Amino acid sequence: MGYIPIIPVNPDNFDQELNFILKEIQGSTAWSLDRNRPYDGQPHTCNGIRGKTLVTGLTMRDISDCMVRGFLAASAWQREGQPERTNPIYDDIYDIDLEKIDPGAVIQNSLCEIEKMMGIYPNIPPISPKPYQD
């Protein structure tokens, strides 16, 4: 049988420590969609620093187009019998099998498409280079 860690909990801070433990188990995506929740995910995700970016300069149609591209990218879409196209049409989303798509990938791909349309892709925090070590 595998090792099961025991985490000591201070009864004076039980609620705080329990919330921490649950957060560690569930990850940053297990929280509600409350708009006021903290940005506490990995910096390069929509739950981290990258997620704080305001969408500017786009119309609702632009965002809809980004969502279509997000679905198509998540499905590895290619219209049967046609050469690869770089400019899909809206109705192409009806050619994909939604049961074979990861919904999280649709969201991530759609957000990348929004960043591309805003001209800020890849919108990731800078990484400090580590000095070379032997």
| Cβ atoms 68, 101 nearer than 8 A | no
| Residue 11 located in a structural domain | no
Domain count, the chain: 1
Please name the residues in contact with 52: beta carbons below 8 A apart, sequence gap of 6 or more. Answer: 39
| Residue 1 located in a structural domain | no
Residue 46: phi, psi to the nearest 5? Answer: -70, -15
pTM, two decimals, is 0.69
| Residue 56 located in a structural domain | yes
- Using one digit for the tens of pLDDT, what is the confidence trace for 18-64? 777 766 666 556 667 888 888 887 888 888 889 999 999 999 999 99
| Residue 9 located in a structural domain | no
| Residue 63 located in a structural domain | yes
| Residue 74 located in a structural domain | yes
Q: Which domain holds residue 103?
A: 51-118
| Residue 113 located in a structural domain | yes
| Residue 37 located in a structural domain | no
